Structure 1
């Protein structure tokens, strides 16, 4: 699990860089031909991780239901994300790693409900969910690298 957590931390730090490199307007911009923006991708990976790890383990997530509804799979941005909301996402991006690690090492995850992801991956264990989470976040980092080419 240490390598899974190490990969996850590295990935999240790459997402964190977008907050420093792009303005509020750029984070919210949906380039022509795209269905989402940089900030939606960040919000999405946060809520997806909480669902993959916590919901699948029958443990209350650390995010609000409102946040989940905004960024869950199948959604897209419907309005501009505010500076305050971006500040919250930036904080969650990193703080949830520590909380998840603590919960893992304190053996808080006792059960795991097998599931199939929307992309067809069968997750039969908590470890599968962590591995899929890293894969999923890598996909969204790739989407963001593509979106940034269209920002001025």
Structure 2
């Protein structure tokens, strides 16, 4: 069962990366009407939240720059971005690296009880499941945004750059 969790992370992340790779550069910073963020933001958000839940970012891991919390944390938006914002290519490299690190987590750790329940999860394994669900939710948002951008056209939508 524990191997299944890590296999699901692998399948989900590879699919996520495949979707991101199909997004053109001129689509990544478009914010269609009715959406709170951009494909660029969703990509960084998935990376950042997964780092938080699986590795304790920003306190227990230094694999991501600390400013990712201000760029991609809950409640953030591209309209407020200042300073250095990583490119989509940088984020994709970090997503691949993160998957490698996730796959190195000892399977026994999935049974560990969290110090205090988080999002209804009592164990690290339950939290891993919620993390995968979170990634899938944002994957759906990216797919929807890409379709709308392609349908309406970039020139008729809001650009956050």
Secondary structure of 1:151's counterpart equals: helix
Give 2:56's aligned residue. Answer: 55
Question: Match of 2:22?
Answer: 21
Aligned-pair RMSD on alpha carbons? 2.7
Correspondence 1:137 to 2:135 = yes
The change in CA–CA distance for 1:42 and 1:5 in structure 2 (over 3 A counts) is: same
Match of 2:35 in 1: 34
Residues 37-58 of structure 1: per-residue CA shift (max 9 Å, x gap): 11211111111011112218x6
Distance of 2:44 and 2:136 partners within structure 1 = 14
Aligned to 1:113, what secondary structure does the other structure show? strand
TM-score normalised over the length of structure 2: 0.77
**Higher share of residues assigned strand:** 2
Structure 1 residue 70 displacement after superposition? 0.6
The equivalent residue for 2:94 is 92
Whole-angstrom distance in 1 between the partners of 2:130 and 2:88: 25
Q: Which moved more, 1:37-46 or 1:59-68?
A: 59-68
Deviations 1:46-77 (A, max 9, x none): 11011112218x63242111122210111111
Task: List alignment gaps of at least 5 residues for structure 1.
Answer: none
Q: How many residues align?
A: 145
Based on CA coordinates, which of the two structures has the bigger radius of gyration? Answer: 2
Runs of 4+ in 1 over 6 A off after TM superposition: none
